[in-house]
Amino acid sequence: MVLWLLVEFGFRRGLTPVLAPWLGSELGADAVSSILGFSLATAGIAWWGVRAGITPAEAYGTYVAVITTAMAFVLKHLVVDLSISPFRTTALLVLALGLCGLRARYGTTSSTIVHVLMNSIETALVIFTLG
């Protein structure tokens, strides 16, 4: 979790100011930085976990893996997005449990697609609202 936070926070806070003038938009630069940080963090942590033989669902059970992952998801978003409120925390927890449930039932691809769709819809709403 700490590794994930460092990679994504570093990309979003470090790369966004560099890309913003080039892309002409800080919001666009943040989106590109998020995609790069998310992709690299996912690939790196998955690679490291496989090499280290980490299989939390097998070791502790699906329910413990879902709860742990959901809590890590919420904490990551609260820290990286620098946004803490009761509504946001509750919404993130519900989303995290839903994504974990999708992952446990239908596999990683299903939860990833839903996550990307939700982020895309939220980003589109922000762009249209600001524009």
Q: Which residues contact 85 (CB under 8 A, 6 or more apart)?
A: none
Per-residue pLDDT at 57: 56
Tell me the CA distances in angstroms from 98 to 18, 91, 127, one per residue in order.
35, 11, 26
Task: Name the helix (H) or strand (E) containing 122.
Answer: helix 108-130
Express each pLDDT in 55-92 by its tens digit. Answer: 655 656 777 777 887 888 888 878 777 777 788 788 88
Per-residue pLDDT at 111: 86
Of 28, 37, 50, 27, which Cα lies nearest the Cα of 4? 37
Residue spans of alpha helices (H) in 53-107: 56-60, 62-80, 86-106
Overall average pLDDT of the 40-63 stretch: 71
Phi, psi (degrees; rounded to nearest 5) at 24 = 80, 10
Of 75, 117, 124, which Cα lies nearest the Cα of 96? 75
Of 20, 38, 17, 18, which Cα lies nearest the Cα of 28? 20
pTM, whole model, 2 decimals?
A: 0.54
